[in-house]
Amino acid sequence: MNDRNFLERTKQFALYLAELQTVLDPESYALLLRILKGFNEAIVHRENGVDIPFSPREKELLTPEFGRVLTRLAGYLGPHGMQVVVGTHGSPPPAAEHDRSEVDAIARASGMSP
């Protein structure tokens, strides 16, 4: 990654975030900032994931549109972006569960034990 690319993505991130402050309701924007703080923690501490607990009201705000906003913002954070997964604590998200069953099926088909 070159510095020019990084600077351009940073600029786009800041512009989009400023736009969101004007179009999102205050409650959704506050939630967005809290999630971005979690993104920052994951990046700074080089973690594979961050668990952000949500109140029942915050869960209501996690609409598909809100997810698209998060995905777009995460895309500015690196050449491959970050993956945003919303799931329940203690259980794998549906995609991870599906991926695991696919890997198990491939292992069985290859004569390996999953």
Average pLDDT score, the chain:
76
* Measured distance CA(114)–CA(107) in Å, rounded: 6
Q: Please give the model's pTM, rounded to 2 decimal places.
A: 0.66
Task: Work out the pLDDT band at 100, boundaries 50, 70, 90.
Answer: low
Closest by CA position to 51, among listed 30, 62, 37, 65: 37
Look at residue 113 in the predicted model and tell me its pLDDT: 58
Q: Over pLDDT 90: what percentage of the chain?
A: 30
The pLDDT tens digits of the residues spanning 9-56 come to: 889 999 999 999 999 999 999 999 999 888 788 777 776 667 788 999
Look at residue 60 in the predicted model and tell me its pLDDT: 92
Neighbours of 29 (CB within 10 A): 15
Task: Work out the pLDDT band at 88, boundaries 50, 70, 90.
Answer: very low
**DSSP state at residue 48:** S
Look at residue 50 in the predicted model and tell me its pLDDT: 72
Checking if the pLDDT of 74 tops 70, the result is yes
